[in-house]
Structure formats: C-alpha cells, structure tokens
Amino acid sequence: MSKKYLFIALAVSIISAAFFTAAKPKTLENTAVVVEAENYVKESGGQLQKMEGRTASSKNLCIAYWNDKDHWVEWVVNIPKTGEYKVVIRYCHNKNYLGLRDFMIDGKYSNKDLKSIGFESTGGLSRGQDDWKNLILKDKKGNDIIFKMRKGKHTIRMKNLGSTDAGKEADRSPINLDLIAFITPDVIPDKIFDFKTAGQGELLPAK
C-alpha cells in the first residue's frame, strides 16, 4: 500500500473512532420520576378510595380498596429523558399470602415476568406505623428489570390478579399503593424517602 493510501486509511480510522466515541450516549444518572398512586387516570372492575393520613405515605395520600380480581388501574408517567430505568412500587398489605398484580407500559409487558408479580405482606396497612415497602420489579432469577424508556408520556396499567391464597380469598388481594417510581440504576430506593429530614409524607429528590 502506498504512503498516500496508508495516510487516507489512517485518517478515516481516526475520524471514525472520534465519531463513535462522541456519539456514545451518556448514562442517565441521579433521576427519580415519581407517580403518586392517588393520581390514577382510569380504572375498571372496582372503585378505589384515596386515603389520607396513613403513616409515612408520600404527600400524605395513598389508594386503598384495590381488592378484587380483574380490577385494573392506569396512571400516566412523564419520562423527562430517554434512558434506562428500574421501577419501584411502594405498597403495603397485611395478608398472609402474596397479592398478585401485573405491570404493563403502553399496553405491553417489558419482560414476561411482569405478567404476574407477587407482593408479600408488609405486616400492616400503615395505620399508626410505617408498613410501606419499596419493591423493585425483578425477573424470576432475582435480577432488577431494566426498562428502556423514551422521553415523553407513557401509560402504566396494573391489574389485580387475585392472590396465592388456596381458600376463599383466592380472588381477593387488598393492597394499599403509595407510589410508583422510575429510577435510574444508580438510585437506591430506600434513600429516596427521608422522612426524618423531610417531614412525614414528603418526598425528597434523588441525591
């Protein structure tokens, strides 16, 4: 190969490397997008109630009476930046079985394991004490599910699938819901909610 062509090939290689390095998207960090449960936009198969004053509830509100199988609820989330997120659901219930729900975004399951999610008892309904749990959505292997979200508005739908109870409550699954949060992978959910410094029910931004 002549020096001329060698120079051209080298120049193209350098330019290409610089282009792809510059084009590599920056990892989205330090972001938490919160959807308050009481801000649902649609439901069918039941009638939720907005509950005020439950201990340590965000904004001092949550939803309850999400009891019966096939009762579904929808929310809208506005994602500020395209990127990868995990989803945290803050809930409580006091039954000795798993409450079952699914989780869809824009009418689709981002992962097949979102077709049925088990919510274990948190020991109470946050009446006088903090019984809320931050549940990160995971696959069956225990890995956090990563949601690749585009900037803009998206519809979340969750449906009551009943419970693991083998008796008369198989078609019932009372769960109180406080919020749904889309967080970047670097955010630790339990550090989002700092009630000692923020005051009961107030949500701090991700740090």
Question: What is the domain-level CATH number for residue 48?
Answer: 2.60.120.260
Give 115's contacts (C-beta < 8 A, 6+ positions apart). 102, 109
User: What distance in Å separates the CA atoms of residue 105 and residue 116, rounded to the nearest whole number?
Assistant: 14
Read off the tokens for 160: 């009551």
Q: Are the CB atoms for 37 and 180 separated by under 8 Å? A: yes
Which of the 8 DSSP states describes residue 144? B
- Let me know if residue 84 belongs to a domain: yes
pLDDT digits (tens, 9 = 90+) for 120-165: 999 999 999 999 999 999 999 999 999 999 999 999 999 999 999 9
CA angle 186, 60, 154 (to 5 degrees): 50
User: What distance in Å separates the CA atoms of residue 20 and residue 191, rounded to the nearest whole number?
Assistant: 36
pLDDT digits (tens, 9 = 90+) for 153-201: 999 999 999 999 999 999 999 999 999 999 988 887 776 654 333 333 3
Burial of 87 (0-12, 13-18, 19+ CB in 10 A): buried
- Let me know if residue 163 belongs to a domain: yes
Q: 166 is in which domain, residue-wise?
A: 28-198
- Let me know if residue 47 belongs to a domain: yes
Overall domain count for the chain: 1
- Let me know if residue 155 belongs to a domain: yes
- Let me know if residue 112 belongs to a domain: yes
- Let me know if residue 123 belongs to a domain: yes
Which of the 8 DSSP states describes residue 60? G
User: What distance in Å separates the CA atoms of residue 135 and residue 170, rounded to the nearest whole number?
Assistant: 22
Ramachandran bin of 53, using left for φ above 0, alpha for ψ from -120 to 50, beta for the remaining angles? left
User: What distance in Å separates the CA atoms of residue 156 and residue 103, rounded to the nearest whole number?
Assistant: 7
Measured in degrees and rounded to the nearest 5, phi and psi for residue 190 equal -70, -10
pLDDT digits (tens, 9 = 90+) for 2-44: 555 444 444 445 444 444 334 444 566 778 888 999 999 999 9
- Let me know if residue 18 belongs to a domain: no
